[in-house]
Copies of this chain bind each other. A is one copy, B any other.
Amino acid sequence: MPALTVAGIAELCGGEAEGELDREIRSVNALADATELELSFVNNRKAAVIAQRSRAGCLLVPLNFSNSERRTIVRVVDPRVAAALVIRVLHPPRPIGSGVHPSASIALSAKLAPDCAVGANAVIGEFAQIGAGSIISAGCVIQDDVIIGECCFLHANVTVYAGVRIANRVALHSGCIIGADGFGFAFNGKYYEKFPQIGGVLIEDDVEIGANTCIDRAAFGVTRIGRGTKIDNMVHIAHNCDIGKHVVIAAQTGFSGAVKVGDYAVVGGQVGVGDKATIESRAIVGSGSGILTSKIVRAGEPVWGTPARPLRQHLEQLASAAKTPQVLKELKSLRERVEKLEKS
């Protein structure tokens, strides 16, 4: 089992240790649950209060932390980022041996890097390519002509449709469907005819995508997920969306066709975005918001509500809406008083 001394933790995180520098730490845990053998971290004021009762053997704390109780601490710029580093050392992911499980079905023309791993009952189609260090877990179906780069991790039961391109260090959680047909139909007056979806999907480096999320292929061209973007569970990304770099999208949000999202935007959960809308770089969209078709969301103030508006405006309106029952009463009383005045 791996372990680190407090001094070792300080070195790993570029921090400054105080207290018992040679104390041994075995794992990382939440403040409320950590024991003397465990590290925890303080990343806001509320956590600082909880920390007072924490039994954690060592705390990662902000630089200005007031250590009045003389605990064993390590001061760092960002305790949460530092904790992630320590977790990586103390809780390494279980090693997954390379090699192809005998029950996997690999097409003869597929090209697998020698040190990739393919799990039980996985299926890999004709002319598909899997890069070095990539893991295709049990039950995944990788269709024809898919190209997957290096060090990707496709968790169990992921489906990748034909021709999708996935770059390097991409993580796809279970149940993801990448490259299903976009929802395109043309009404001929009697019934809907399918508008064939002949585009693809491009997922760039370092993207992580949550469980059961669906990213549809483009009608023409590609649906793109930019480098470093993180997408939560059950998100719907329709055909021809162009999602920028380092975007964060929380669970159950849905993007209609051809939506553009700029780099570093943050989109909350259960947001609905109409087709051809644009969310600009670094814009912030509150959870549950609705962005109308072709609308542009600017950076600056976060937006909220349906239709989404600047947060302050939306909150002001919510507050005054709560007063409408009063308004009705007052209006009635004023009306009576004015009538009285008119008669007098």
Residues of A in contact with B (beta carbons under 8 Å apart): 28-30, 33, 78, 80-81, 83-84, 87-88, 91, 93-94, 101, 103, 105, 119-121, 123, 137-139, 141, 143-144, 155-157, 159, 161-162, 173-175, 177, 180-181, 183, 185-186, 188, 190-196, 198, 206, 208, 210-212, 214, 216, 219-221, 228, 230, 232-234, 236, 238, 246, 248, 250-252, 254, 256, 269-270, 272, 274, 287-288, 290, 306-307, 316-318, 320-325, 327-328, 330-331, 334-335, 337-338, 341-342
Contacts and interface: CB of A to CB of B under 8 A. Distances in A.
B188 A180 contact: no
A41 B94 CA distance: 52
A25 to B, nearest CB: 14
Contact of A175 (B83, B143, B159): B159
22 contacts: A33-B220, A81-B188, A84-B193, A84-B194, A94-B144, A94-B162, A119-B123, A155-B161, A157-B177, A180-B210, A183-B230, A192-B230, A212-B212, A212-B234, A232-B236, A236-B269, A251-B254, A252-B254, A316-B325, A320-B327, A321-B324, A331-B331
Counting from the closest, the 7 A-B pairs by CB-CB distance are A105-B120, A141-B156, A320-B324, A177-B211, A180-B211, A159-B174, A123-B138
Contacts of A195: 80, 83-84, 87
Contact of A233 (B33, B196, B216, B307): B216
Contacts of A321: 317, 321, 324
Contacts of A236: 232-234, 251-252, 269
B105 A228 contact: no
Contacts of A211: 159, 177, 180, 214, 216
Given A181-B210, A185-B230, A288-B306, 18 more contacts: A81-B188, A105-B120, A120-B141, A180-B211, A180-B233, A192-B228, A232-B236, A251-B256, A252-B252, A252-B254, A252-B272, A272-B288, A274-B287, A288-B290, A317-B322, A320-B325, A331-B334, A334-B338
Contact of A192 (B88, B248, B316): B248
B144 A141 contact: no
A45 B219 CA distance: 20
